[in-house]
Amino acid sequence: MKANVNAELFLAQALPITDLDRISIVAYNGILSVASFGNAINFRVPAYVAVPGQAYLSSDEWRKVVQQVNTEKMVYIVPPSKLIPLPIKIVHYLHRRVLQQNTFPHPTSAC
């Protein structure tokens, strides 16, 4: 997973919730989404997503991420061993399917 986000926007959402446990981070389709398991706290920030992916973090890992974003210019949020790749082929298929459903026949083709 590789994504560029505005640190100020990220920290505005992340700093109040540094004590959460079991965090999911997903980068896909122009959004970095952070959600916690066991409560209803989550947020999304716009992102330039170069490589989509998802990872699960413990509370210690989450605090470390927030601290690094606060103090460093470039942060490696998730080590490669924790990455869970998204099924890109399925996503592309679903996207094409939605586009096909939204297309309408040409008015003269019904004659």
Three-state SS for 30-70 is CEEEEEECCCCCEEEEEEEEEECEEEEECHHHHHHHHHHHH
What's the whole-number mean pLDDT along residues 83-98?
A: 45
Whole-number percent of the chain with pLDDT over 70: 64
Q: What is the pTM of this model?
A: 0.63
What's the whole-number mean pLDDT along residues 107-111?
A: 47
CATH 3.20.20.80 fits 2-103, yes or no: no
Indicate whether 68 pLDDT > 60.
Answer: yes
What's the whole-number mean pLDDT along residues 23-44?
A: 86
What's the whole-number mean pLDDT along residues 85-95?
A: 44
- Residue 87: its pLDDT value, please? 46
Indicate whether 103 pLDDT > 50.
Answer: no
- Residue 14: its pLDDT value, please? 86
Indicate whether 106 pLDDT > 70.
Answer: no
Nearest alpha-carbon partner for 41 in 29, 28, 59, 53: 59
Single-letter amino acid code for the residue at 2: K
The tokens for 103 are 């297309």
What's the whole-number mean pLDDT along residues 53-74?
A: 83
